[in-house]
Structure 1
């Protein structure tokens, strides 16, 4: 089983990423459960704006998309800015919009029988809103979201320290990350054993 984590931080490598730090807790648990896992920092790639799978020469999305579709588990990790997902996360979702009309050789949407989770960090509130937005979009595309397939770290309303700068709340976030990983793997295994069929029509 494979998983891919898309880190939608605004910070290019090698800058430290609070979102990546929490995502790595999920990655560690996935690997502990035998899942081959990779991490992609989206801002390091030239992902062109648009709603097609390939926006032409120089567009890095087709290669990332190929890795996304090779994985049974997708995790979208994003910081919160102004109570919303990052612009990078929004671009990923916009590019994935093309998957709505793409089907496999059995006529199923290409995202069927794959599961998705969300990681959110930020020094302002809005985590549940961000989780809801991303899970809603991925559900439209065809991903299955298990219960509690998320983890987040926020200290509440207003600005404050970052995840890497403050130990408060880490225990909750780490426990949620482990639960998230377990639920993602369990649901992915269930779908592998009894896959969803092509929608009627």
Structure 2
């Protein structure tokens, strides 16, 4: 089993990365392979609404001018997907929004190709807007017919400067519980 996580923050070692690392550590403890992909700060474009993905039905976005199809392929190969984002004006980063919009449309165009994969949102926030960001990511999972595990609280951690999220004891515990619950769910779904 494998989980791919996307760090939607341009701060490669910032609070979103730290939060994702906690979840991934718990998954690895349970014997699940993990991969962390740096999404934030990379050149990714928004959806053009060209709907060529519906005509092509090749599980790819018709745009070829960025790495989105690499990200989509990583999602297809994984059993679980984690999308991590900082809070930008009470929502996801622009790179996460591009991932949601383009991968979401390609998934719909190809028979809900993410259906029954496990999805989890991870949010790093300075102060407010985290639940809107958490919801935006979970809306993507829901419309993609993915299965979302819960935790002891919403999957968010508070911190401003890189690393401060590690001082949020409740957030750290929430991320650990999320990793444990996600591992349990993946194992349940993969029983033969």
- Give the TM-score category using the shorter length: 0.7 to 0.9
* Greater RCO, CA 8 A, separation 6+: 2
- The equivalent residue for 1:179 is 177
Q: Which consecutive unaligned segments of at least 5 residues does structure 2 have?
A: 54-59
8 Å CA contact 2:165–2:171 kept in 1: the answer is no
Partners of 1:180 and 1:27 in 2: CA distance: 10
Query: What is the aligned length?
Result: 180
Shift of 1:70: 0.7
Aligned to 2:57: none
CA deviation after TM superposition for structure 1 residue 44, in Å: 5.2
For the aligned residue pairs, the C-alpha RMSD in angstroms reads: 2.2
Find the aligned partners of 2:118 and 2:165 in 1 and give their Cα distance. Answer: 31
CA positional deviation for 1:182: 1.5
Structure 1 unpaired stretches of 5+: 104-108, 156-160, 195-201
* TM-score using structure 2 length: 0.83
CA drift of 1:23 comes to 0.8
1:114 Cα offset (Å): 0.7
| Structure 1 ranges of 4+ moved more than 6 A | none
1:84 aligns with 2:91: yes
**2:167 pairs with 1:164:** no
Task: State whether residues 3 and 73 of structure 1, in contact with CA within 8 Å, keep that contact through their aligned partners in structure 2.
Answer: yes
- Per the normalisation by structure 1, the TM-score is 0.80
Shift of 1:163: 5.1
